[in-house]
Amino acid sequence: MDDSKKTSHATDSTADDGEVILRGVLDRWKAGVDAHDPQRVAAAFTEDAIFQGLHPYSVGRQGVADYYDSQPLGLRAEYRVLETRRPADGLVLGYLDVDFSFTDRPTLGVKLSVLVQRTDDGWYIGHHQVSRLD
């Protein structure tokens, strides 16, 4: 096998690994959102995470918990990974479509960018940025 095929395969494998890592963290986040368990959502983030939802930003798990505690009961999240990148060892960048559904109003579609980082305890969201494109 020539070197160009090895490089291409390694890049594909790295991208696939990044998506697996990203999904593992986002599945924990989604489970907390769907259960309306703000502390469980916050546990998917680093202690010093920069968090931007659709309200002013916060830093740290408590801000994440406060944000999701303010969300209505019955909120559910469905995500679709659009892109992943591995900018450095221990980091995965993800760009996603997320649909938040409610019991009493139409679904809200947003774009979500996250930076997931490896810590001594596993993988966590270190940066979370939501955008509405309408």
Position 15 scores a pLDDT of 53
What residue ranges do the domains of the chain occupy? 3-131
Model pLDDT, residue 56 = 86
What global pTM score does this model have? 0.86
- Nearest residue to 77 (alpha-carbon basis) of 53, 55, 59, 51: 53
pLDDT in tens for each of the 134 residues of the chain? Answer: 333 333 223 334 455 799 999 999 999 999 999 999 999 999 999 999 999 999 889 999 999 999 999 999 999 999 999 999 999 999 999 999 999 999 999 999 999 999 999 999 999 999 999 999 87
Q: Which fold has domain 3-131?
A: Nuclear Transport Factor 2; Chain: A, (3.10.450)
* The pLDDT of residue 53: 94
Structure token pair of residue 8: 């291409």
Do residues 125 and 116 make contact, with C-beta atoms less than 8 angstroms apart? yes
pLDDT at 16: 72
Helix (H, G, I), strand (E, B) or coil at 2: coil
Pairwise CA distance, residues 19 & 87, whole Å:
13
pLDDT for the residue numbered 3 = 38
